[in-house]
Amino acid sequence: MSKEITSRSTDYSQWYNDLVIKGGLADYSAVRGCMVIKPYGFSLWENMRDALDKMFKDTGHVNAYFPLFVPKSLFEAEEKNAEGFAKECAVVTHYRLKTDPSKKGALMVDPEAKLEEELVVRPTSEAIIWNTYKNWIQSYRDLPLLINQWANVVRWEMRTRLFLRTAEFLWQEGHTAHATAKEAVEETVQMLNVYADFVENWMALPVIKGVKTENERFAGAVDTYCIEALMQDGKALQAGTSHFLGQNFARAFDVKFSDKENKLDYVWATSWGVSTRLIGALVMAHSDDQGLILPPKIAPLQVVIVPIYKGEEQKAQIDVKVQELVKQLKAAGVRVKYDDNDNARPGWKFAEYEMKGVPVRVALGLRDLENNTVELARRDTKEKQSVSMDGLPERIVNLLAEIQQAIYNKALAYRDSHITRVNTWDEFVSTLNEKGGFVSAFWDGTSETEDAIKDKTKATIRCIPLDNPEEDGVCVFSGKPAKQRVLFAQAY
């Protein structure tokens, strides 16, 4: 069967690819490293986007849109940011094609149409946005400026993977400006909390909130806060970042404001983003060898109803019952589909919707009509039971909530059992090799140690957890004094 999914134990990477492709989320395209997000995958993204957008607006932000292109001179203004992204930028150098005289029907770049100044296709929008903010901010009365943009960005990655790392991806980027450092840090932390809230409560994926070390910090940031999630293969995935940018961009773009005492100062900045990469996290964290498992809150379809019948007459009887149920479920705000396609038989549909991760399936046949029951099946546990049609809509609404919680609990249990405290280098290495997951270990605080560990084990410091206690210890690698444990892991 062409729809079969490679098992996790056979080939984890292939399993992931199978889920994305066969689950109907995305497809490869003719463009290197760029994917087509299919309707089912995009619907998932829309649900995520809508929930996040509401949270951004509830915390006082508004949406705007800035250009796709950044003039090179603006891009290079903030030196560290420019350097960090330089190696993966697509650059527009010409603005016109012409017919190729040496080849019929072919086009060539018109050498006469070379741009005076190259345009960088945004890998992130700090530069173009801060160049704009310069014109918008004069006084403390103009602050804070709290803007978000939903956009696509391009990063010319060497090796791409569907959703996890594509050359073009969709994301949101918030860019805020504040009068004080304190306020900007508060904004940075607030948005980190919004991300954690979203990922945990909507995506059912537990995360660890923390701060990045200097090595892992966003280019141009003073501090990078992050949420880190754990995938089923024991590798960590950065699910979102929120940066305190200090006055770096204000200096680079000369954005000053007058405070109440008429004193000029540079404004304080933050930026924060999550991307379609979250879909990759979702797929890898929850799904099984039968296909996707999607949390009800963001699943494009929450309930699918499959009729089981012999002949038109039975079908008509079932239709009547189902129409009523669909109406009730829709009234309760449930995303429901009645699949009465006659081409596919029930067994085929069961397998198909399991692959697509629809949380709840209702099957309804003549036997059920006689007994006033339906067969109710949940995707996460694959449990099936025959239940009464009375009070069914409420029951389904409750079941959806139960599934949402169960998926979260399962991921949480896995994550918690994969945070291992180690005290020696041997333990550190063997834990990474044999068990995976997060390794909590003392670190001497130096980049050299961090680099050396990465070199030897491929593990990086995912974060210094926000609630980290200060304790005295010795660095697991260097043996030097250390003040706290940090979380290491191999990561996507």
Residues that bind RNA (CB under 7 A): 1-4, 13-14, 16-17, 28, 30-34, 84-85, 87, 123-124, 155, 157-162, 165, 216-219, 221, 224, 241, 273, 275, 290, 308-311, 342-348, 350-352, 354-355, 363-368, 374-375, 377, 382, 384, 458
Q: How far is the CB of 374 from RNA (least distance, A)?
A: 7
CA quadruple 63, 68, 72, 76: dihedral positive or negative? positive
| Measured CA distances, 233 to 285, 414, 489 (Å) | 9, 11, 11
Q: For helices 12-22 and 277-286, give the axis angle rounded to 10 degrees.
A: 110
Q: How far is the CB of 49 from RNA (least distance, A)?
A: 17
CA–CA separation, 163 vs 152, rounded Å?
Answer: 13
Q: Give the pair of three-digit tokens for residue 123.
A: 């890998």
CA–CA separation, 208 vs 415, rounded Å?
Answer: 10
Please provide residue 35's backbone torsions phi and psi, each rounded to the nearest 5 degrees.
-115, 160
Of residues 126 and 482, the one with the C-beta less far from RNA: 126
DSSP string, 194-248: HHHHHHHHTS----EEEE--GGGS-TT-SEEEEEEEE-TTS-EEEEEEEEEEETH
- Look up residue 290 and give its DSSP letter: T
Q: How far is the CB of 423 from RNA (least distance, A)?
A: 26
Of residues 205 and 363, the one with the C-beta less far from RNA: 363
Of 274, 54, 267, 82, give the one whose Cα is nearest residue 173: 274
Of residues 146 and 363, the one with the C-beta less far from RNA: 363
Q: How far is the CB of 245 from RNA (least distance, A)?
A: 11
Q: How far is the CB of 158 from RNA (least distance, A)?
A: 3
Residues facing 161 on adjacent strands? 165
Query: Contact 214/447 with Cβ under 8 angstroms?
Result: yes
Q: How far is the CB of 290 from RNA (least distance, A)?
A: 7
Q: How far is the CB of 421 from RNA (least distance, A)?
A: 25
Q: How far is the CB of 471 from RNA (least distance, A)?
A: 28
Of 4, 13, 45, 40, give the one whose Cα is nearest residue 291: 4
CA quadruple 63, 68, 74, 79: dihedral positive or negative? positive
Of residues 28 and 69, the one with the C-beta less far from RNA: 28
Of residues 225 and 257, the one with the C-beta less far from RNA: 225
Q: What is the 3-state secondary structure (H, E, C) of 335-363?
A: CEEECCCCCCCHHHHHHHHHHCCCCEEEE
Of residues 293 and 482, the one with the C-beta less far from RNA: 293
Of residues 62 and 344, the one with the C-beta less far from RNA: 344
Of residues 336 and 376, the one with the C-beta less far from RNA: 376
